[in-house]
Amino acid sequence: MDPTLILVLTTLIKIVTFTFMLTLPMVAYSVYAERRVSAIIQDRVGPNRTGIPLTLFGFKKDLHFSGLLQPLADGLKFFLKEEHTPSHVRKFFFWIAPVLTIVPALLTLCVVPFGSSITVFGEQVKLVIADIDVGPLFVFAIASLSVYGITLAGWSSNNKFSFFGGVRSCAQMISYEIALGLSVIPVLMVFGQLNLSDIVQSQADGGWTLLPLWNEHGSVFDADYWKNSGGQWLLMIPLFISFIVFTISIFAETNRMPFDLPECETELVGGYHTEYSAMKFALFFMGEYAAMIVGSALIVTLFFGGWSIGFGLDAHVADWAFGGLVHLVAFLTKVIAFIIFFIWVRWTLPRFRYDQLMKLGWVVFFELALVNIFLTAGIMMLVN
Amino acid sequence: MAIIKVTRPKLTLLEKLYFPSIVKGMFVTFKHAIRSLRGKSLGADSLNSSGLGVTMQYPEQKWDDHLPEHYRGVPALVTDEQDRERCVSCQLCEFICPPKAITIIPGEIESDDPWAKVEKRPKEFDIDMTRCIYCGMCEEVCPEQAIFLRKDYAMTGLSRADMVNDKERLYEIGGVRTGLVNKWNEIK
């Protein structure tokens, strides 16, 4: 077959599969997971009985599948609810704001490598929608657009509390974006490139960023490693710092729990989405969870080897025609683990006060990330 | 008023870093998660939990065994051990009922009835459970100890008409209650 045709077809299939068949269900089910995991942490049960209502059709018992059909019921409810647009809002911006929050979150997915590669009609197809050489930059450029959605939602609602929520969110996201951008630079320096697929590939070959247990010099448990790698392990220090800064910034960027000030219901009556109802509200909700999934995917890609299984198994798996799918499963497992981590943090840490949040962003993390870059550079100079 | 100066606690370096405390907190919640997954949450036994966490799964498991002695549920009429209606339809409960939930239509007992001495019994006795506030004043005021607030609490229905307990239903909920009631006394 014509390689161009294969490229177009596979790209279309990848877009449909990764965005609509993988990520959107994951969004729905991360809401379910959030409810279930938070319930378990708080000694409750959570939604556990929405299933197939067989008793409606005259059967003895309902099938409940531990409530796994809850997201479907939630979605149906959102579609059937009354869509209400208050008369005092700026209609155009009011309608476009929810779209502006969810689209960037889904767009950033296109540079995240889901798996290594599979062979279709003799052509190697990389399991990433767009294999571009500016991966992280693209992600930051697009992800920062979601602040427009939230700010516009707050402003166009024509409601003081919503506006306040929108402005707060804007200030928060900007203050963490700088730390987010700076904290990745050490990683990019170590790998020397901006292509996310290649970054993951080199992690598969030489050990994950935060877990370099296998590499060209052999295992860490091997005495040769300590002799030959020339103090490479020192790089773990700045990489760990950048992991911490990056993760916390992602929490702030996705408006997740310790930093969910934009929607602080005690002060802001719900924040920027107070005036939204039904599916428009659901889009904000989905945007937030999609951002969480993209955030987890980024953390996994940059620090935990992306689709790599590790322990030197990747080379064997890559030999199979559909070995990429094994990698896909490995990647999803890691992402799900991180989503559960996000939920775990949400039900552990109390909300930050707003001035503490700004101080953390501007005074602590900005400086820390900046110093970290110099630290990395110094160590890299020493090592080579 | 005495002024109490609060001195801020001196934090060690580790405490100032937040980080160890955060990790400690994460372990606390993690322990909860593990406990509730194993069905060993604190208080699970005393709250009759269903296994996950301390939640009792309502329609399947009920609170019945844990209801306190003084619990006041749905009001109901009672019969005595010989299946006689205790109510003489004096309408005191209807009169005292603050939300006017009770409606009584009194009826006479025919003279050939073995219990004709009592003369009256209710022909209709309705309690509208959409109005009842479970105050227990009907129980307090009843001279014949015929109406009681029982332990039932799950009064549900799909329409307003469903929520009206008629005489039959009230006797069904109330059941039999033994003990002397003076109105049957021939001498009196």
Residues B79 and B164 in one domain: yes
Nearest neighbour of B26 by CB, restricted to A37, A42, A344: A344
Name the range with the highest mean pLDDT among A357-361, B39-43, B117-121: A357-361
Q: Worst-scoring range by mean pLDDT, A259-268, A275-284, A327-336, B90-99?
A: A259-268
The whole domain housing B104 covers 75-184
Nearest neighbour of B26 by CB, restricted to A37, A39, A348: A348
Which residues of chain A lie closer than 8 angstroms to B25, CB-CB? 348-349
User: Which residues contact residue B172 at a Cβ distance below 8 angstroms, ignoring those fewer than 6 apart?
Assistant: none
Residues B118 and B180 in one domain: yes
Pairing relationship of beta strands B120-128 and B102-108 according to DSSP bridges: antiparallel
Considering the domain boundaries, does residue B6 fall inside one? no
Residues B34 and B79 in one domain: no
Task: Kindly tell me if the per-residue pLDDT of A293 is higher than 70.
Answer: yes
Identify the CA nearest to A274 among candidates A122, A126, A159.
Answer: A159
Interface test with chain A among B36, B41, B46, B47, by most A beta carbons within 10 Å = B36
Confidence band for A371, pLDDT divided at 50, 70 and 90: very high
Contact B54 A344 (CB under 8 A): no
Nearest neighbour of A348 by CB, restricted to B25, B43, B52: B25
* Average pLDDT of the residues in A221-236: 63
Q: Which helix (H) or strand (E) holds A173?
A: helix A160-191
Predicted pLDDT of residue A215: 58
Supply the CATH number for residue B96's domain.
3.30.70.3270
Contact pairs from chain A to chain B, CB under 8 Å: 50
A244 Cα to chain B: minimum distance (Å): 10
Nearest neighbour of A40 by CB, restricted to B25, B37, B50: B37
Whole-number mean pLDDT of chain A? 82
Task: Kindly tell me if the per-residue pLDDT of B64 is higher than 80.
Answer: no
Residues B147 and B106 in one domain: yes
Residue pLDDT, tens place only, B65-78: 778 888 888 898 88
Considering the domain boundaries, does residue B179 fall inside one? yes
Residues B144 and B168 in one domain: yes
Pairing relationship of beta strands A117-120 and A123-126 according to DSSP bridges: antiparallel
Considering the domain boundaries, does residue B43 fall inside one? yes
Taking the C-alpha atoms of residue A172 and residue B91, their distance in angstroms, rounded to an integer, is: 68
- ipTM metric: 0.76
Residue A215 corresponds to which tokens in the numbers above? 């590499």
Interface test with chain B among A34, A38, A45, A62, by most B beta carbons within 10 Å = A45
Residues B26 and B110 in one domain: no
Task: Kindly tell me if the per-residue pLDDT of A111 is higher than 80.
Answer: yes
Longest dimension (CA), chain B: 95
Interface test with chain A among B27, B32, B48, B61, by most A beta carbons within 10 Å = B32
Number of structural domains (chain B) is: 2
DSSP string computed for B81-97: TTS-B------HHHHH-
Q: Given CB atoms, is B17 within the 8 Å cutoff of chain A?
A: no
Note which residues in 122-141 of chain B have CB less than 8 A from chain A: none
Helix axes A91-107, A278-303, angle to 10 degrees: 30
Considering the domain boundaries, does residue B114 fall inside one? yes
Predicted pLDDT of residue A225: 57
| Per-position b or e across A11-34, b if 16+ CB within 10 A of its CB | eeebeebbbeebbbebbbbbbbbb
Residues B80 and B22 in one domain: no
* Average pLDDT of the residues in A242-259: 86
Contact A37 B33 (CB under 8 A): yes
Contact A41 B22 (CB under 8 A): no
Residues B148 and B106 in one domain: yes
Predicted pLDDT of residue A217: 47
Residues B160 and B123 in one domain: yes
Which residues of chain B lie closer than 8 angstroms to A349, CB-CB? 22, 25
Considering the domain boundaries, does residue B69 fall inside one? no
| DSSP β-bridge partners for residue A117 | A126
Predicted pLDDT of residue A218: 45
Contact A42 B52 (CB under 8 A): no
Task: Kindly tell me if the per-residue pLDDT of B176 is higher than 50.
Answer: yes
Considering the domain boundaries, does residue B102 fall inside one? yes
Q: Given CB atoms, is B177 within the 8 Å cutoff of chain A?
A: no
> How many other β-carbons are positioned within 10 Å of the β-carbon of residue B99?
11
Considering the domain boundaries, does residue B7 fall inside one? no
The answer to whether A95 and A86 are in contact (CB under 8 A) is: no
pLDDT greater at residue B184 or residue B38: B38
Q: Worst-scoring range by mean pLDDT, A118-127, A165-174, B9-18, B160-169?
A: A118-127
Interface test with chain B among A37, A40, A66, A245, by most B beta carbons within 10 Å = A40
Report the residue of chain B nearest A340, measured CA to CA: B30
Where do we find the tokens 């709250």? B47
Which residues of chain A lie closer than 8 angstroms to B59, CB-CB? none
Residue pLDDT, tens place only, A50-87: 878 888 887 888 777 888 888 888 888 888 888 888 88
Contact B53 A347 (CB under 8 A): no
pLDDT greater at residue A175 or residue B179: A175
Considering the domain boundaries, does residue B101 fall inside one? yes
Residues B137 and B175 in one domain: yes
Residues B126 and B42 in one domain: no
Predicted pLDDT of residue A57: 83
Residues B90 and B172 in one domain: yes
pTM for the model: 0.79
